């Protein structure tokens, strides 16, 4: 490992530090094994301190607004950048590390945190601390030994409280942070639990507590040293931005059969290129699709290999079609000044929903079906817009601002579906056999259904929704998009979300027992979702996600979040990182019927033959450098995902 050694008065000290650190650093980079504590979904169980924690978390947000972009553990970057990702206090401590130039990467965040703690521990152990009395020195040495053992165990708190990296004093499973563990080991567990109850997410420097300072003095530490020890812990959900994403609004995200992503909305450029309202992402950059479309795009669908976009276009048309060579426009809804809000494939047929005008200028909502290249009106005169289309119990369903709000089509006529919805429906999704509707949540201070499900021909608002989703600071508060992902219902829109001490904006998910959980902190509306089999894609008019720059479209892989390692047999991939080949070892009860490799955008880039036995070899020399997921598909349809980094 190459380390830049400083000259000048501090040079001798730092050369000594380097000599002390280097023998173990290489092993720490590549041989540290870590076991993360199981990730479970946190139950919504408020306690009397919830409001204090929410207030503290809000204060943390004001600091986090200056946060830099998230650095993934597997990214090749200088050691200094990785350590600063874990704890910004490195800026105020060891200049040798800040000048470290070697590119390194880690298997996971626990491995990176472990190295941070080991480096800090070794540096602190070298200080002579001549001002300390023998009792303080003894306490300090014992706790530094405990810090080293804690780092080697590699079991750290899970951040289920904030959607960005932040200290967590003690997590819901009883795992203490490094400073909390030192307090527990010293016999001051009561102090650690008081801090967790009152200031769970606070930085040491922001605590301003006399009991913490007294504990530090008694045990031979300074506040600066505790702040240097205290790492931040990454959120369970890490959103990844797309380089060159459009600046503007993305209203629809589509995934093609070849894995390419299509984004459309209202924008004029992407990847530095002039691109009008629709773009294709190939895993590297965004490309124009023909000359684009002139107008505004509000929805989209892929049908029989063609791309269909709905909205308002030139000459009063409301649908644009890309057949692989050229764009053509048409009118799906009869009338003047028509507009489409929804496109949906139901039982192999394409349907469009929106608004138009009838004879004598009377406005109406309508639904049409693509039939042999032309659009057939389904003989319904909704009295206002149709915003959403979906499928439920084998029938087509429509939602919108019309009087019924949700209607079902039996192939001949439309009928009211359920009662009790009080206002506009913007999204429909069938989840666990039940139909869900998303729509207006607040109009001023007045509450509306927001998110409801159909049960016994009646709509019921999800319990606790208005306790946890609060009004958007500007404009309307609403749920605009719904999708099923990884066995949960994901919802997006414009709202604040406060679930116990867990805070987010514009995106959340509904889990077991109607548990509501934030999935991130977006600075503006989430308008659309897509799922490519591995990754969840979200589009909208946001420009920041979790306080880092990420505009209009982002992705995340949550397929393993919330699953305990104790509850499943896991396949393993070795070596990781790898250059030429990887070995996939599977347990005896896991025998895949197919193996494929998927890149970060969900594209299948490699398919491997399946052999008898528990070891499979993948040749990866032809893959570009980056992160990949191996998808193991069993005969019963069950999937497992293991990740590796191609260097």
Q: How far is the first Cα of the chain from the last one, in angstroms, to the nearest whole number?
A: 18
Tell the residue number behind the tokens 């005896």, with chain if given: 588
How does pLDDT run across 328-354, given as a tens digit for each residue? Answer: 999 999 877 899 999 999 999 999 999
* Residue 320 reports pLDDT greater than 60: yes
The pLDDT score that the predictor gives to residue 524 is 95
Backbone φ and ψ for 424, nearest 5 degrees, come out as -60, 140
* Position 167 confidence tier, pLDDT thresholds 50, 70, 90: very high
> pLDDT: is 10 or 237 the higher one?
237
* Residue 21 reports pLDDT greater than 70: no
The pLDDT score that the predictor gives to residue 38 is 24
How does pLDDT run across 31-48, given as a tens digit for each residue? Answer: 332 222 222 222 223 333
What is the third-level CATH fold of 569-646? Answer: Immunoglobulin-like (2.60.40)
Domain coordinates in residue numbering, the chain: 11-229, 418-521, 569-646
Q: What percent of the chain has pLDDT over 90?
A: 47
d(CA 624, CA 647): 8
3-state secondary structure 120-180: HHHHHHHCCCCCCCHHHHHHHHHHHHHHHHHHHHCCCCCECCCCCCECCCECCCCCECHHH
Q: Which of 205-209, 281-285, 424-428 has the highest mean pLDDT?
A: 424-428
* Residue 145 reports pLDDT greater than 80: yes
The two tokens of residue 170 are 């003690």
The two tokens of residue 97 are 């590390």
Q: Helices (DSSP H) in 323-456: which residue ranges? A: none
DSSP 459-510: EEEPTTHHHHEE--SSS-EEEEEEEEETTEEEEEEEEEEEETTEEEEEEEEE
Q: Helices (DSSP H) in 219-341: which residue ranges? A: 223-229
Residues 200-214 as b or e (16 or more Cβ within 10 Å = b): bbbbbeebebeebbe
Neighbour-count burial of 284, counting CB atoms closer than 10 A to its CB (0-12 exposed, 13-18 middle, 19+ buried): exposed
* Residue 68 reports pLDDT greater than 50: no
Q: Which residues contact 436 (CB under 8 A, 6 or more apart)?
A: 428, 429, 430, 451, 452, 453, 454, 482, 489
How does pLDDT run across 555-609, given as a tens digit for each residue? Answer: 987 664 433 333 335 677 878 778 888 888 877 666 777 788 875 444 567 887 7
The pLDDT score that the predictor gives to residue 59 is 31
The pLDDT score that the predictor gives to residue 427 is 98
The pLDDT score that the predictor gives to residue 268 is 96
* Position 360 confidence tier, pLDDT thresholds 50, 70, 90: low
Tell the residue number behind the tokens 């910004």, with chain if given: 88
- DSSP secondary structure letter of residue 191: H
DSSP 97-116: HHT---EE--SSHHHHHHHH
Cis before 575? omega within 30? yes
d(CA 239, CA 537): 9
The pLDDT score that the predictor gives to residue 77 is 86
Distances, alpha carbon 584 to alpha carbons 460, 560, 591, 642, in Å: 46, 18, 11, 9
Closest CA relative to residue 356, chosen from 379, 332, 338, 380: 338
Number of helices (H), then strands (E), belonging to the chain: the values are 12, 43
d(CA 94, CA 496): 40
> Is the CB of residue 608 less than 8 Å from the CB of residue 616?
yes
For the chain, the maximum distance between any two Cα atoms, rounded to a whole number of angstroms, is 95
The pLDDT score that the predictor gives to residue 584 is 84
* Residue 66 reports pLDDT greater than 60: no
Rounded to 10°, the helix 109-126/134-153 angle is 160
* Position 500 confidence tier, pLDDT thresholds 50, 70, 90: low
How does pLDDT run across 537-569, given as a tens digit for each residue? Answer: 999 999 998 777 899 999 987 664 433 333 335
Computed over every residue of the chain, the mean pLDDT equals 81
d(CA 127, CA 137): 11
Torsion sign over Cα 321, 327, 332, 338: positive
Tell the residue number behind the tokens 């070795």, with chain if given: 574
């Amino acid at each position: 490992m190459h380390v830049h050694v400083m000259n000048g008065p501090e040079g001798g000290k730092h050369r000594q530090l380097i000599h002390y650190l280097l023998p173990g650093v290489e092993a720490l980079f590549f041989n540290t094994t870590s076991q993360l504590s199981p990730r479970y979904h946190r139950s919504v169980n408020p306690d009397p301190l919830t409001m204090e924690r929410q207030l503290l978390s809000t204060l943390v947000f004001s600091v986090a607004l200056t946060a830099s972009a998230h650095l993934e553990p597997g990214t090749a970057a200088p050691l200094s950048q990785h350590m600063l990702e874990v704890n910004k206090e490195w800026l105020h401590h060891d200049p040798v590390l800040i000048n470290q130039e070697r590119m390194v990467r880690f298997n996971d965040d626990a491995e990176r945190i472990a190295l941070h703690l080991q480096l800090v521990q070794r540096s602190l152990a070298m200080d002579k601390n001549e001002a300390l009395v023998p009792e303080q020195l003894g306490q300090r040495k014992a706790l530094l030994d405990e810090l080293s053992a804690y780092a080697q165990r590699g079991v750290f708190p899970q951040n289920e409280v904030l959607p960005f990296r932040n200290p967590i004093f003690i997590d819901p499973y009883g795992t203490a942070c490094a400073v909390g563990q030192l307090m527990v080991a010293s016999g001051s567990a009561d102090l650690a639990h008081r801090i967790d109850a009152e200031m769970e997410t606070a930085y040491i420097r922001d605590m301003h507590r006399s009991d913490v300072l007294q504990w530090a003095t008694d045990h031979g530490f300074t506040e600066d040293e505790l702040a240097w020890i205290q790492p931040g812990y990454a959120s369970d959900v890490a959103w990844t931005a797309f380089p060159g994403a459009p600046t503007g609004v993305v209203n629809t995200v589509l995934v093609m059969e070849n894995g390419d992503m299509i984004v459309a909305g209202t924008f004029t450029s992407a990847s530095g290129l002039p691109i009008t309202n629709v773009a294709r992402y190939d895993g590297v950059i965004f490309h124009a699709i023909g000359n684009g479309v002139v107008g505004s795009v509000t929805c989209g669908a892929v049908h029989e290999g063609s791309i269909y976009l709905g909205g308002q276009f030139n000459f009063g048309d409301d649908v644009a079609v890309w057949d692989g060579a050229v764009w053509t426009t048409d009118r799906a809804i009869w009338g003047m000044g028509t507009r489409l809000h929804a496109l949906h494939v139901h039982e192999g047929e394409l349907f469009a929903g929106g608004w138009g005008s009838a004879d004598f200028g009377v406005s109406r909502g309508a639904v049409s079906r693509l039939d042999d290249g032309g659009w057939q009106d389904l003989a319904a005169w909704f009295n206002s817009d149709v915003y959403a289309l979906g499928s439920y119990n084998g029938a087509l369903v429509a939602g919108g601002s019309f009087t019924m709000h949700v209607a079902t089509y039996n192939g001949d006529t439309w009928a009211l579906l359920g009662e009790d919805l009080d206002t506009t429906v913007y999204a429909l999704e069938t989840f666990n056999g039940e139909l869900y509707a998303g729509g207006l949540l607040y109009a001023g201070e007045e509450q509306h259904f927001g998110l409801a499900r159909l049960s016994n021909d009646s709509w019921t608002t999800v319990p606790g929704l208005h306790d946890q989703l609060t009004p958007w600071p500007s404009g309307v508060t609403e749920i605009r998009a719904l999708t099923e992902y990884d066995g949960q219902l994901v919802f997006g829109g414009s709202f604040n979300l406060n679930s116990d001490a867990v805070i987010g904006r514009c995106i959340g998910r509904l889990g077991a027992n109607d548990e509501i959980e934030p999935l991130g902190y977006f600075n503006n509306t989430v308008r659309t979702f897509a799922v490519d089999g591995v990754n969840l894609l979200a589009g909208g008019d946001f420009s920041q996600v979790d306080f880092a720059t990420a505009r209009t479209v982002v992705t995340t892989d949550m397929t393993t979040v919330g699953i305990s390692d104790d509850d499943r047999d896991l396949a393993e991939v070795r070596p990781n990182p790898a250059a030429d080949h990887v070995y996939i070892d599977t347990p005896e009860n896991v025998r895949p019927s197919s193996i494929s490799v998927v890149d970060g955008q969900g594209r299948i880039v490699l398919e491997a033959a399946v052999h008898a036995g528990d070891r499979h070899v993948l040749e990866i020399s032809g893959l570009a450098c980056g992160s990949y997921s191996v998808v193991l598909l069993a005969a019963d349809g069950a999937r497992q995902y293991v990740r590796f980094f191609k260097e």
